[in-house]
Each structure stands twice: as C-alpha cells, then as structure tokens.
Amino acid sequence: QGGNNAGHTVVVDGKEYDFHLFPSGIINPKAISFIGKTILELDLIICGLKDWEKRLIISDRAHIVFDFHQAVDGLQEVQRQAQEGKNIGTTKKGIGPTYSSKAARTGLRICDLLSDFDEFSSRFKNLAQQYKSMFPTLEIDIEGQLKKLKGYAEKIRPMVRDGVYFMYEALHGSPKKILVEGANAALLDIDFGTYPFVTSSNCTVGGVCTGLGVPPQHVGDVYGVVKAYTTRVGIGAFPTEQINEIGDLLQSRGHEWGVTTGRKRRCGWLDLVILKYAHMINGFTALALTKLDILDVLDEIKIGVAYKLGGKRIPYFP
C-alpha cells in the first residue's frame, strides 16, 4: 500500500538496507517479491542487491508517481502552512497528489506505460497541463519526462505481470508461504487514522484485499508490530508524548529518525488505547513487541491506559 513515502531499515548479516518500496523479502534470494496495487515511483529501482530484477514482480495496475506529483506535494504543504499556519507533514514524495489523480480517474498506471506510448504521452500531457493550471508556478519538462519514462518502460517490462492473476496462481498453485508486508501504521490509515495527519492509503489489514486482490478468506495470521514506546513522525495528536529528557532519551537510544525524511521522530510512553484501537480494526493474531531494550536504562516505565473525555474515562479511541 502507499508508495515510497514509507521507509524501513532492514539489517541482515550485519548489512543495513533502507527500503522505501521494495518488499523486505527482496533480500532473500529464494523469495519472489511482488509490488501490488501501490503507487510506484520509478526512480526507486536502484539498490546494492544482486539479481534483484529476477525476483521482483510489479503489478500492471500500479499507479505511477510523476516528478510533478512530487513538486505539487511540496507546493501544497507550502500553501497549507500559509493559509492555516500548519501543514500535514507529508514526506513530499508525491503520494497524496498521485492518489488524487487516481481518484479523479486521470492517473496513469504501469499498464498504460507499457502499451501504446503515444496514447500514454497524450494522457501524460493532459495531466501535466491540469496541474500547471492549478499551480501556475509549477514547471514541468514534459518532453524530458516522457523520454525518461520511455526508458523506464523497457527496463521494467520483463518484471510486469497481471497482478490479480499472479496472486490467484500463488494462492491456488503449489503450496507456498505468502507474507504480505504493509507500510505505515494503523494510525496513519486514510480512513481510521488521526485524520488529516495521515497517509493516503489503507495501511490496515484491509489493504491486503484491496491492495493485492486477495479474497478475505485467504488472510491467515495477522501480526501487529509495535514498539515498547510510541513514536510519530510529523504533526498530529500524541497524548503520551514526552517533550522532555525522557523523550530525548527514547529518541537518541532508539535511533528514532524517519528513514525517508531524516526527521526526528517524536517519542513518548506506550499508548495502549491506540494499540487496542489498532487491534479492533486489524484483529491481531499476535504482537511483535520491539525495542524493549531501549527502556533498559529507566528506573520507571509509564504506560498510557485510558483516555478521558469531559472528565470521564471512555472505552474507545475518539
């Protein structure tokens, strides 16, 4: 789900990889990695792995993030800051504008790029003009972009498959272990997160069905990954936040920097209300609790157990 706005650091055999769109399984030479109905930024396909092209498959339905989507993302943040005195804190990777194009049915997908390039070029020019009319300061090198995209098309053509059929065969063919990796967290979900300080996609478990075309009855175990404390990149509500030496300690000991943005993550005590809420939506089979060792140096550890609204404890996440 989403796009290269999310970053995750994977360490294998002492070597560190920072991935933004690659599934973590790309490191495993025995695994096939599949990028589903996501938002695809074509510049990403460079990393220090051997033969990754042979084990990566890209869905033909993936939408493409263009350079002007990224530029517009930045311009929108500047506008919000000027008009409202605050922005959303996006990663400026063009994800929101690309989803806007998708919802407006003017977006372009991998299947468009790989079929009739003249038709693709015409639709690309129309989309670029739409954005130029909305943002007069926006500059787009249309011909330069199209030349680059034509080159990308040939590079990725061998990797592209019909994503729905690929997943159907994976589920119904010879027995396989299938692991679906979601980016971002439940509280960044466009529908169930701390709106408007959220991402543009469904990063809850429903994204397995809507993102890959996997029927619900095929979803097996659901693992929730949670730190032993709570963090957040960017602005938005954070009741257990510690703007003090405790927050600084968690931030420095936990190496809490955004992989994509390099921004410091805000840190605070574990918020069980959020965790219960994430469980209500996702129905976790199990929790993977990480970074417990970061708390080792503290004499006392606090945990958020309930919220009050109007002086009364409430049993839900408001």
Band of pLDDT at residue 257, cut at 50, 70 and 90: confident
Is 102 noted as a catalytic residue in this protein? yes
Mean pLDDT of 42-57: 73
Q: What is the DSSP string of 167-206?
A: HHHHHHSS---------S-GGG-TTTSSTTSS-SS--STT
Find the range with the poorest average confidence among 30-44, 116-130, 208-222: 30-44
Q: For 62-85, what is each residue's pLDDT tens digit?
A: 999 999 998 998 888 887 777 777
Residue spans of alpha helices (H) in the chain: 67-84, 95-103, 110-114, 117-134, 142-156, 163-172, 207-212, 245-253, 272-282
Pick the CATH number of 1-171 from 3.40.120.10, 1.10.300.10, 3.20.20.370, 1.10.1740.10: 1.10.300.10
Predicted confidence at residue 73, as pLDDT, reads 85
Same fold, 1-171 and 221-314: no
Predicted confidence at residue 200, as pLDDT, reads 86
Predicted confidence at residue 184, as pLDDT, reads 82
Pick the CATH number of 221-314 from 2.60.40.10, 3.90.170.10, 3.40.190.80, 3.40.50.2000: 3.90.170.10
Find the range with the poorest average confidence among 159-168, 197-206, 210-219: 197-206
Mean pLDDT of 104-124: 96
| Domain spans, the chain | 1-171, 221-314
Band of pLDDT at residue 240, cut at 50, 70 and 90: very high
**Catalytic hit among 86, 102, 147, 308:** 102
Predicted confidence at residue 53, as pLDDT, reads 87
Predicted confidence at residue 116, as pLDDT, reads 96
Band of pLDDT at residue 41, cut at 50, 70 and 90: low
Q: For 138-196, what is each residue's pLDDT tens digit?
A: 999 999 999 999 999 998 999 999 999 999 999 999 999 999 988 788 999 999 999 98
